[in-house]
Each structure stands twice: as structure tokens, then as C-alpha cells.
Amino acid sequence: MEMYRTYRDGWLEAITGCMFAGKTEELIRRIKVFEFARKEVVVFKPKIDDRYSATKVVSHAGSSVESYAVASSAEILPHVKESTQVVAIDEVQFFDEGICAVCEQLADQGKRVVVAGLDMDFRGEPFGPMPTLITQAEFVTKLTAVCTKCGAPATRTQRLVNGLPARYQEPIILVGASESYEARCRHCHEVPGKYAPEE
């Protein structure tokens, strides 16, 4: 008699990479595939990310989906019902460390959890909870962009403040600053003061 293997639902997927690599676009693509398959999906974003919309997850290319904008990881669980099958979280690097336990709990409950976020900050160092989430995830997709200076595969995010590379001592998150970002490869990424910190 032929035997059929069964598996239990519930796992964590992480989509990561630098800015302009298409992380949010890929997250939205997966959400729409789930919805087309009539899966019950709930989407979250950090309230701090209001660049394009206060309530929607929006990619740089303009794709969007409705979401809950929450201030902390503790606000996620009350929005997830027993019938929810997929939980998607964008810009996950901005959440507190509690997001790791929330994702684990949801996956253990049989939910498919998909998170997207930057793996490195502008300094080229691990960003917030992303290292832990990547370690916990069953599946990791690392996307690259194109370096704006040389055209090589870009894995890092260059922060520019008033047109100049941000110094290492700048805060990780700047709200309302005159800053912009570019995708850069390892060799074109500039962080003044990284190897010789200022006093």
C-alpha cells in the first residue's frame, strides 16, 4: 500500500536584502498569490513607516496592500484570528526584539509567517531583529539591487545626508532628516568613521 507523508502547516519565511532590492514588492506578490488561492491573510507594518501611506504596505514601484500599522510587536497578536492562515509583516527591522517571539508563536500555531526587512543598517551592520528572524526562518530569500555607482550587485544601503555619506556615529533611524538612500555594492559603500570612530 502506498504511503503518503503529511506535514503540519506553520513556518517562517524571511525576505531580506538592501534598499531598492524589491523586498516589499516580493512580499506583496506573495500576499496576492495567497489571496488568489483564497487564503486568509493579515498584513502588518510598523507605524513609523509612513513614507507612502499610513495604512498600506507600498513598494517603491507603487504596488500596495492594506495593512495594520502597529507601534510594537505586542499589537500584532490581537489582530490574528484562529482562522488566519498567513501573517505578513513588512519593514520588520523597525520592530522591537519581541517580534521574534511573536513570529515563532504564530508559526508554532500553524500560521505561515512571511517577513520582509533590511538585513543591514546604513553602517553595514545587522539591523535590529533581522539576524534572529533569519536564523529562525525555514526559508530565506536574499535579494540584491544594482549598485548606483558601478552597476555591480548591491547588498548594502548607502545613506546620504545633504549629499554626503552619513558618518558611522549618525543614529540608525533618523526621522525627518534631509537624507536619501542608494543601493551600493560592498566596494562602493561608504561609512566615514567606521574603522576609526570619532571620540
Contact 152, 120 (CB under 8 A): no
In a domain, 198, yes or no: no
Confidence band of 177 (pLDDT split at 50, 70, 90): low
Residue 165 falls within a domain, yes or no?
no
At residue 58, the pLDDT reads 85
* Within a domain: 148: no
Whether residue 162 lies inside any domain: the answer is no
Give this prediction's pTM. 0.90
Position 3 in a domain: no
Residue 155 lies in a domain: no
Q: What is the pLDDT of residue 195?
A: 84
Per the residue annotation, which of 13, 91, 170, 182 is the catalytic one? Answer: 91
4 — pLDDT class (breaks 50, 70, 90): low
Confidence at 49, pLDDT banded by 50, 70, 90? confident
Give me the pLDDT at residue 35, please. Answer: 94
pLDDT recorded at residue 178: 54
Residue 24 CB contacts under 8 Å (≥ 6 apart), including other chains: 57, 58, 59, 60, 63, 90, 91, 116
Around Cβ 60, how many Cβ atoms within 10 Å?
14
Judge whether 199 lies within some domain: no
- What is the distance between the alpha carbons of residues 13 and 23, in angstroms, rounded to a whole number? 12
Range of the domain at 41: 11-143
CATH number at residue 60: 3.40.50.300
> What average pLDDT does this structure show over 97-124?
97
Whether 91 is a known active-site residue: answer: yes
Q: How many domains does the chain have?
A: 1
- Does residue 2 lie in a domain region? no
Asked if pLDDT for residue 198 goes beyond 60, the answer is: no
